[in-house]
Amino acid sequence: MALVSSPVPPALRAKRRREAARTLAFLSPWLIGFGVFFLYPLVSTAYFSFMHYDGFRAPTFSGLRNWEYVLTTYPSFWTGLGNTLWLVVVMVGLRVVFGLGIGMLITKVKSGAGFFRTAFYLPYLAPPVAATMAFAFLLNPGTGPVNHLLGELGLPQPGWFNDPAWSKPALTLLAVWGIGDLMVIFMAALLDVPKEQYEAAQLDGASAFQRFRYVTLPNISPIVMFAVVTGVIQTMQYYTQAIVAGKVASGVIGGSGQQFEPGYPSGSTWTLPQMVYNLAFHQSDYGSACVVAVVLFALSMAFTSLLLRRRSGFLAED
């Protein structure tokens, strides 16, 4: 750094100004996007959460009434929050454990590795609507192949998407089927673990479990952390699969005249994002929808801040 006392020479000042202009120019598409598609709607959502607005008449200030309605009267809020938390714990947990298991398996396969890798990865690519419709068919209690096979084996045949006790496990099964992204991330991390550490552990007589516990896990823990946090954030947004599964299983979909019961069966697949959609676009209660949106925002940012902690290495420079 230059001596502080001397004034900045004009040439340097001009250069700095040029650099600032250049930086601004490169960032400009995103700066506009950040303002128009992030900051503005966020502020506006918070504002509308204190307004009564039905989409037609001018919004009027209603104080905390929307908040009170959502948190105390609106019967589905706590059900939806409970379902979202259930999915966060069980779905994310199983996806991470299963993804790590499949990642470890693929690093050990010696024959046909290319085939297995593609096979394990493929379901991840299936478009969510298509994959959910496929699972609604596979798991349908009447003629579905899964229950057919379970019956042949003499096992119980659950109602899956039609049974409130089984609908979330069925969605979890669908999520575990699409594990390809985690498999690839874990596979890369596992191949990065230094071989010498395994050899040293083996010389010390460590069992397979001990090698996993004391060599593998410490080496890949940042990736596990990454998978958990991003998984939680994705699950907060869980929407398409829940809504499509409910619609297909209830037999009410699209414009068939019948009213779709949100969260079918019995509210068991009802989640926070669906609440935003339903309150705003079906019940024309934009104010209450914004309350749920603010809650959703607070929850996701809390988890995002975990990811942004220095320790997680997420924003590391090199």
Partner 1 sequence: MTLAPALPREAAAPAPAAARTARRRAALHWVAVHALAIAAALFFLLPFVFLFLTSVMTDHQALTSDLWPTHWQWSNFSKVWHTPGFLTWWRNTLLYAAAGTALTVVSSLPVAYALAKFRFRGRNLALMAVVSMMMLPPQVTIIPMYLFWAKQLHLTGSLWPLIVPMAFGDAFSIFLLRQFLLTIPREYLEAARIDGCGELRTLLRVVLPMARPAVAAVALFQFFYCWNDYFGPQIYASENPGAWTLSYGLESFKSAHHTNWNLTMAATLLVMAPVIVLFFFAQRAFIEGVTLTGVKG
- Cα separation, 91 vs 236, whole angstroms: 11
Residue 143 in contact with partner 1, rule: CB under 8 A: yes
Q: Is-contact 99 179, C-beta < 8 A? A: yes
How far apart CA 19 and CA 17 sit, in angstroms, is 5
Selected from 8, 12, 13, 41, the binder of partner 1 by CB under 8 A is 41
Encoded tokens for 93: 């947990």
190-249 residues near partner 1, rule: CB under 8 A: 191-192, 195, 219-220, 222-223, 226-227, 233, 236-237, 239-240, 244, 247-248
Which one of 134, 169, 212, 214 is in contact with partner 1 (CB under 8 A)? 134
CA 90 vs. chain centroid, Å, equals 13
Among positions 74-103, residues that touch partner 1 (CB under 8 A) are 102
Rule CB under 8 A: is residue 30 a binding residue for partner 1? yes
CB atoms within 10 A of CB 96: 19
Using the contact rule CB under 8 A, the part of the chain among 2-10, 74-82, 110-118, 160-168 near partner 1 is 110-118
The candidate with the shortest Cα–Cα distance to 124, out of 182, 51, 179, is: 179
Q: Least Å distance between CB 224 and partner 1?
A: 10
Under rule CB under 8 A, residue 316 binds partner 1: yes
Task: Work out whether 256 is an interface residue with partner 1 (CB under 8 A).
Answer: yes
Question: Residue 52: helix, strand or coil by DSSP?
Answer: strand
Q: Cβ contacts of residue 269 below 8 Å, gap of 6+?
A: 83, 167, 168, 171, 242, 243, 245, 246, 263
* Of positions 8, 15, 17, 19, contacts partner 1 by CB under 8 A: 19
Would you count residue 6 as binding partner 1 (CB under 8 A)? Answer: no
Token pair 């080496």 in the structure block, residue: 219
Instruction: Tell the smallest beta-carbon distance from residue 68 to partner 1 (Å).
Output: 19
